[in-house]
A and B are shown apart, each in its own frame.
Chain A
Amino acid sequence: MRRWRYFGYRLLLALPVVFGILILNFFLIRLAPGDAASVLAGESGAATPEYTELLRTKFGLDRPLPEQFVAYILAALRFDLGFSFRNDAPVSELIFARLGPTVLLMITAFTLALSIGTLLGLLAAVARNTWRDAVISVATLVCYATPGFWLGLMLIVIFSLHLGWFPTSGFENIAEGYEGWERVVDVARHLAMPAMALGLFYLALYTRVMRASMLEQTGMDYVVTARAKGQSERRIMFGHMLRNAFLPVLTMAGVQAGNLIGGSVVIETVFGWPGIGTLAFNALQSRDLNLLLGIFFISACLVVIINLIVEILTVFLDPRIQA
């Protein structure tokens, strides 16, 4: 029972974050040099004085600041994030249409990175100071220093252009008109390289954290106790240390959720993945600020949700956390 109340409390804590992003968004537009209306109009050729004036009244930019603010917040609470003139569609509609592929990409990359990273970190810690540890550590260091977009391009050169194993871009092969399982396989083939390009950095990160965390646990008193009970090293490792060592990795994963979204923007552009990253890139090219701000807001909400999930997982794994 206490647990659920705790989740409710965490949910309550998440609200100020969402609200904060709205405030930040509101002031970011006004941070731009020059008139907000002309910024909103974008660097489109259509920014005639009349059009700018139209925007000004439409967005209430001629009204006093507090009034604008209240109007902005009220609209945002109805998920009304404004209108993209470039795309001639409401911002929220544009974003929600593209949300699915991004979430799919992120979850795939995140799950792979977390599970494989934890496993590799465990392996490296078990085989500490052997060649296996050395190989994993060096590979981790290299992956940790590789920019994802470049890795993506290299993957395309090797696996698509030379070997022809995976398609270079897109979400699926629409022309083939696959259905059912065939479609799943098709999407998975398209997903493989972007997920790898996005996830490898985090895989390296989690491996590092897990290895360090495992090594930290080896010195703990409770490990000695388990040994004094006559428990085998293997059981001590899996029965006692693993869960204790995994907690910091999970915390780190929560903190990194925001960066994962940022990374997916770049990766999506490399692979032409039809998610909000590509949408953001297009908005960037046309300087469609309103759309960018909307994407920023929705992504941040996504991060808040991921953080909540991580929080819930942590509470289930760690009995010490009670409100």
Chain B
Amino acid sequence: MRAGLRRFARNRMALAGSVVIFCVFLLTVTAPFLFPQGAFNLAGQPLQPPSLRFPLGTDALGRDVAAGVAEGARTSLLIGISAALSAVLFGAAVGGIAGYYRGPIDLLLMRLTEFFQTIPAFLLAMLLVVILSPSLLSVIIAIAAVSWPGIARLVRGEFVALGGREFILASAGLGASGPRIIFRHLLPNCLSSIIAVGSLLVATAILLETGLAFLGLGDPNIMSWGLQISAGRVSLRSAWWVCTFPGIAILLTVLSINLIGDGLNEALNPRLRKR
């Protein structure tokens, strides 16, 4: 693990991604001080182009786009991280049970996982948000509900591969209990893959969240990048900046997380290390 982190630190792209994400975090922390009025506050004349007072301009209602981007960062990170985390926990549990116990329960759980992987994820997320009515929690639930199958298959695959390895047999031969084998041997050996894939899941979750918000399926009381872009659509012809800047924010954030994820993958997964 420590050697892996050292390898990560040598990866310049991954390091650049980390710096950007750190800046985004900083932005979310300082947003209340930079924009004490909040993102919904009518700050000035509508549709002002970028200026010294409004570096990213104002939207059709006269709201400061910069304030929206700052607050949207918090929303995206919050939803992205908590949805990815829930998906990882749930997926790892499903995959772990299937991969360790095998047999009929494996068959059942994997069929279920494949099912959830087949059906159109975004549509299911949409439906869930509509049915649970849009709120921060329902968006997180919906995204987690469509994101777990990948992790489940990964963990199951690793468990099955490791389960055939002789050191697992040796533990079983010593009389180790199921939980002991799972938590002492199997999980520590696939943790690095879970971390790497889990970090990439944050990026996908953020993309899903912005997509939902763009369709009006976000919490209406919380500013988000998708909501900003959706609101800016109507004035696309006259005010390009309203849509453009939140989009760039999404792009940078997702790109950085992907770079971090790739870096972690290369650093922690010995198989890929050679490349």
Contact = CB atoms under 8 A, between A and B. Distances in A.
A adjacent to B, CB under 8 Å:
yes
B133 A33 contact: yes
Given A39-B131, A146-B250, A153-B233, 20 more contacts: A21-B119, A32-B132, A141-B255, A141-B258, A142-B251, A146-B251, A147-B251, A150-B246, A150-B250, A156-B236, A259-B122, A262-B121, A262-B122, A262-B123, A265-B126, A266-B211, A289-B131, A292-B126, A300-B118, A303-B119
A31 B251 CA distance: 35
Interface in A137-178: 141-142, 144-150, 153-154, 156-157, 161
Contact of A17 (B118, B126, B214, B237): B118
B247 interface: yes
B7 to A, nearest CB: 18
A258 B236 contact: no
Interface residues of A, number: 52
Interface in A30-52: 31-33, 39
A21 B120 CA distance: 10
Contact of A150 (B115, B123, B229): B229
B130 A287 contact: yes
Contacts of B6: none
B39 to A, nearest CB: 18
Interface in A283-299: 284-285, 287, 289, 292-293, 295-296, 299
Interface string B103-131: 00000000100010111111111111011
A28 B133 contact: no
B236 A284 contact: no
B211 A284 contact: no
Given A149-B214, A157-B240, A28 B120 contact: no
Nearest to B204: A259
B127 A292 contact: yes
A255 interface: yes
A285 B130 contact: no
B165 interface: no
Contact of A20 (B115, B132, B214, B259): B115
A215 B217 CA distance: 41
Contact of B130 (A146, A258, A289, A299): A289
Nearest to B253: A145
B111 A284 contact: no
A63 B226 CA distance: 42
Contacts of B240: 157
A280 B120 contact: no
Interface in B210-262: 210-211, 214-217, 226, 229, 233, 236-237, 240, 243-244, 246-247, 250-252, 254-255, 258-259
Interface of A: 16-17, 20-21, 24, 28-29, 31-33, 39, 141-142, 144-150, 153-154, 156-157, 161, 212, 215, 255, 258-259, 261-263, 265-266, 269-270, 280-281, 284-285, 287, 289, 292-293, 295-296, 299-300, 303-304, 307
B123 A265 contact: yes
Contact of A296 (B123, B226, B275): B123
Contacts of A307: 118
Looking at chain B's contact residues, the main secondary structure is helix
Contact of A303 (B118, B132, B133): B118
Interface string B194-210: 00000000010001001
Contacts of B131: 28-29, 31-32, 39, 289
Contacts of A33: 132-133
Contacts of A144: 255, 258
22 contacts: A17-B115, A20-B115, A28-B131, A32-B132, A33-B133, A142-B251, A144-B255, A145-B203, A146-B250, A147-B207, A148-B211, A149-B211, A150-B229, A150-B243, A150-B250, A154-B244, A157-B243, A258-B121, A266-B215, A280-B126, A295-B123, A303-B120
Nearest to A270: B233
B251 A258 contact: no
Contacts of B233: 153, 270
A262 B207 CA distance: 12
A141 B240 CA distance: 24
Contact of A215 (B119, B133, B258, B275): B275
A67 to B, nearest CB: 23
Contacts of A148: 211
A290 to B, nearest CB: 11
Given A149-B229, A161-B236, A296-B127, A263 B122 contact: yes
Contacts of B207: 147
A51 to B, nearest CB: 20
A153 B123 contact: no
